[in-house]
C-alpha cells in the first residue's frame, strides 16, 4: 500500500499569511477610524455647547465664571483645540478668584 503525504502548497501558505496580514491591517484601520469618529463626535458636541453659551445672558455667564469675551475668544480658537476645555479652565480660575 502506498501512502501519500499531502503537503500544503507554498502558494496556500502565502495566501493564508496575506489573509492574516490583511485582516490585521483592516482591524487596525477600523479601530483607528472608530477612535477618530468618536473624537470627531465629541468635538462636534463641544462646539454645539459653545454655540449655546453664545446665546446666554451675561448674568448667567458670570454665574458660571465666564464673560462674553471668554466665549468669543473660545469660539475663535482653531478646531484642533478643545474650546470647551479652555472655557472650563477659565471658569475654574475665575471662580477661585472671587
Burial (CB count <10 Å: 0-12, 13-18, 19+), residue 87: buried
User: For residue 97, how far is the Cα from the chain centroid?
Assistant: 32
Statement: residue 32 has pLDDT above 90? yes
Report the predicted TM-score, pTM, of the whole model to 2 decimal places.
Answer: 0.59
pLDDT at 82: 86
pLDDT of residue 74: 94
Q: Quick: pLDDT tens for 45-94.
A: 888 888 899 999 999 999 999 999 999 999 999 888 888 899 999 999 99
Amino acid at each position: 500500500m502506498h501512502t501519500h503525504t499531502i503537503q500544503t502548497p507554498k502558494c496556500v501558505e502565502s495566501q493564508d499569511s496575506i489573509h492574516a496580514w490583511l485582516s490585521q491591517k483592516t482591524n487596525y484601520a477600523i479601530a483607528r477610524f472608530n477612535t477618530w469618529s468618536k473624537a470627531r463626535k465629541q468635538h462636534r458636541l463641544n462646539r454645539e455647547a459653545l454655540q449655546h453659551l453664545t446665546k446666554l445672558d451675561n448674568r448667567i455667564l458670570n454665574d458660571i465664571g465666564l464673560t462674553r469675551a471668554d466665549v468669543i475668544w473660545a469660539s475663535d480658537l482653531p478646531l484642533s483645540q478643545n474650546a470647551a476645555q479652555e472655557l472650563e479652565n477659565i471658569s475654574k480660575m475665575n471662580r477661585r478668584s472671587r
